[in-house]
Amino acid sequence: MKCAIVPPHVLDHIAENHRDERLRESAQRTLAIDGGRRSARVAAQLIASAEPTGGSGAPKRTVHDAGHRERLPGRTVRAEGAPATGDRAADEIYDWLGVTFDFYRSAYGRDSIDGAGLPLVATVHYSVDYDNAFWDGSQMVYGDGDRQVFTTFTGPLDVTGHELTHGVTQYSGGLDYTGQSGALNESLSDVFGSLVKQYHLGQTADQADWLIGQGMFAAGVRGVALRSMKAPGTAYDDPNLGRDPQPDHMTRFVRTARDNGGVHINSGIPNRAFYLAATAIGGHAWEKAGRIWYETLTGGGLPKDAEFATFARMTAECAGRLFGVKSAESDAVRRAWATVGVEAG
């Protein structure tokens, strides 16, 4: 399924309510592109999963320029080790691919997205006024935004970290992109997208902003980011975007047929659980809380259709194995899930 950083409920609201006809059309075109690439992404996943790669412990990056067309990958503008191009979007993404690669290698000993040295490929300047960025199963793709609501998708590091983590989930056995398992899929990308940024900035859990997509909104938009892991439902409240609909507790779980069962909405519940666990444990969140979530994702036992309660139980068990059943870390994980209304067992 298509995994893009801007969820359809945001684009729907712009397409239906923005006073500027051009921006309504941009949102409609983005929704059409996102829907049209779903089958292409599934095919790319199958191909990528079947191709062996040789790991070297070093990134192999290639950045392309689509020239505002919708053909991938586009013209190569920067390969691994080449100097900066002067194109801000291309150079930002070259750097962020490297930071994300370094995060997974340094924090968890993972060699690229597949764990076996997968080359990191990205395309910038995709389509015209395209309001999104996505992982298509084999590479990253970035639009330039409409410049009135969204001004950048290459600037925020956590956007790249989020989308590449969809690749980590893909190569770790995957999670069905629907309902609670789909919301877990999205939440895991938010978790590690935030941790990539925290790692890059050297932040502890209490220093981090826990925002996803900060910096992508144009001036005048009433919002700080697309999502807040610390306080789901508070990231934005703007006439053109609508109001952030994310719940922070199971009693407010949203039932909808849109967005594969609200995968970008209900991810707020496991997002807050991770934030609570990470801040209770303290220190650098990728070292303990992040390791628990990472080991649960990549350990081979996570069902594709896992619901929140299953993932909660597995993270609690993982914390017990790593730090001790009666450890402060294990207790923090169980308390975090209980606080958002999920029983960890």
Q: List, in order, residues 6 or more apart from 39 with CB less than 8 Å away.
A: none
Measured CA to CA, the distance from residue 85 to residue 102 in angstroms comes to: 22
Would you identify the CATH topology of the domain 179-339?
Answer: Neutral Protease; domain 2 (1.10.390)
CATH entry 3.30.930.10 includes domain 3-171: no
In this predicted model, what pLDDT tens digit does every residue of 317-339 receive, in sequence order?
A: 999 999 999 999 999 999 999 99
Residue 43, pLDDT > 90, answer: no
- Mean pLDDT for 57-80 is 97
Mean pLDDT of the chain: 94
Q: List, in order, residues 6 or more apart from 18 with CB less than 8 Å away.
A: 24, 27, 149, 240
Q: Tell me, what's the pLDDT at 39?
A: 40
Parts of the chain belonging to CATH 3.10.170.10: 3-171
What is the pTM (predicted TM-score) of this model?
Answer: 0.95
CA angle 160, 147, 142 (to 5 degrees): 25
The C-alpha R_g of the chain, in whole angstroms, comes to: 19
Residue 259, pLDDT > 80, answer: yes
In this predicted model, what pLDDT tens digit does every residue of 115-161 receive, in sequence order?
A: 999 999 999 999 999 999 999 999 999 999 999 999 999 999 999 99
Parts of the chain belonging to CATH 1.10.390.10: 179-339
The pLDDT confidence band at residue 3, using thresholds 50, 70 and 90, is confident
- Mean pLDDT for 12-16 is 94
Residue 25, pLDDT > 70, answer: yes
Residue 193, pLDDT > 80, answer: yes
Residue 27, pLDDT > 60, answer: yes
The pLDDT confidence band at residue 35, using thresholds 50, 70 and 90, is confident
Measured CA to CA, the distance from residue 87 to residue 245 in angstroms comes to: 35
Catalytic residues: 163, 264
Tell me which H or E stretch contains 164: helix 157-171
Closest CA to 7 of 172, 121, 177, 170: 177
